[in-house]
Amino acid sequence: MKKWTQREVRQGGVVSPDSIQREMTSSQSSITALDRSQLPAACIDETRLVDYALHRFYLENPWGSTGEQEAVVDDDTPLNNWKAFTYQLYTGGWTTVATTTLTAFKGGSLFAEWAGNAYVYPASTQPLLANVECVPRYVRLRLLVAGRVLVEELGPAMHEGFRIFGTGIFEQGDLPVEAQIRLTDTTYDDIIEEHSSNDPLCQAHVYSMRFLGIGRWR
């Protein structure tokens, strides 16, 4: 903590510019740069904070225009299937199904969660004729923040809800967020089409997507 009084003027002393100058500078410094030791406890409440001073929420509900993934939409599927991922159109690998931007992230801790429902067609889990182990079908899930993986999970293996979340420390800036899925790789024996019309069968879909992010800088 800074002190105000630097010296004491005494009777009979000489008044020089410095004798005033130093006193003024000292006192000025003590006022113009208050630090945490000089502020009283509990002096800040909600009304004294500017917006986003301590934290900021980022919400997407629905995430995307409808909450459905639109990265792969195959409309040739039977009507009791969704128009979504098929092996005819899905090119494999991680596929981005939703994006957002954490505008004016001040730098610090980030909590992010991605929730929704996922469907995967499990019929091809054990298709091969002999001597090959089964390959369970999953909708693998991951969240990328500023190009880095925040959280990744094996994901649903049935038609069910999911929620994945993670925390990390991120830099200041407008941070891009990507939600990605990756289906279990196909084999040549997988069931990929319907009998009578040769319509492709839906292999996966993600919908009801919503995103919540909390940035905390202090």
**What distance in Å separates the CA atoms of residue 217 and residue 170, rounded to the nearest whole number?**
10
Nearer to another protein, 149 or 158 (CB): 158
Closest approach of another protein to the CB of residue 9, in Å: 13
Select the residue interacting with another protein from 12, 17, 93, 147 (CB under 8 A). 17
Task: Tell me: does residue 108 bind another protein (CB under 8 A).
Answer: no
Is the bond leading into 62 cis (omega within 30 degrees of zero)? Answer: yes
**Chain residues 54-73 in contact with another protein, contact rule CB under 8 A:** 54-57, 59, 61-62, 65-68
**Chain residues 135-194 in contact with another protein, contact rule CB under 8 A:** 157-161, 163, 188-194
**What distance in Å separates the CA atoms of residue 156 and residue 150, rounded to the nearest whole number?**
18
**Chain residues 117-136 in contact with another protein, contact rule CB under 8 A:** 117, 119, 121-130, 134
Select the residue interacting with another protein from 7, 24, 92, 103 (CB under 8 A). 24
Select the residue interacting with another protein from 6, 7, 13, 44 (CB under 8 A). 44
Q: How far is CA 59 from the centre of its chain?
A: 10
Task: Tell me: does residue 1 bind another protein (CB under 8 A).
Answer: no
Best CA proximity match to 58, nearest among 205, 217, 214? 214
Token output for 38:
């000089």
Task: Tell me: does residue 90 bind another protein (CB under 8 A).
Answer: no
Considering only the stretches 38-46, 93-101, 138-146, 147-155, report the one whose residues sit in contact with another protein under the rule CB under 8 A. Answer: 38-46
Nearer to another protein, 91 or 197 (CB): 197
What DSSP designation does 72 have?
S
- Looking up tokens 């999911």 gives 162
Task: Tell me: does residue 3 bind another protein (CB under 8 A).
Answer: no
Q: Does residue 161 contact residue 191 with C-beta atoms inside 8 Å?
A: no
**Chain residues 190-209 in contact with another protein, contact rule CB under 8 A:** 190-196, 201-202, 205, 207-208
Q: Does residue 210 contact residue 60 with C-beta atoms inside 8 Å?
A: yes
Task: Tell me: does residue 99 bind another protein (CB under 8 A).
Answer: no
End-to-end CA distance of the chain: 22
- Please provide residue 110's backbone torsions phi and psi, each rounded to the nearest 5 degrees: -125, 130
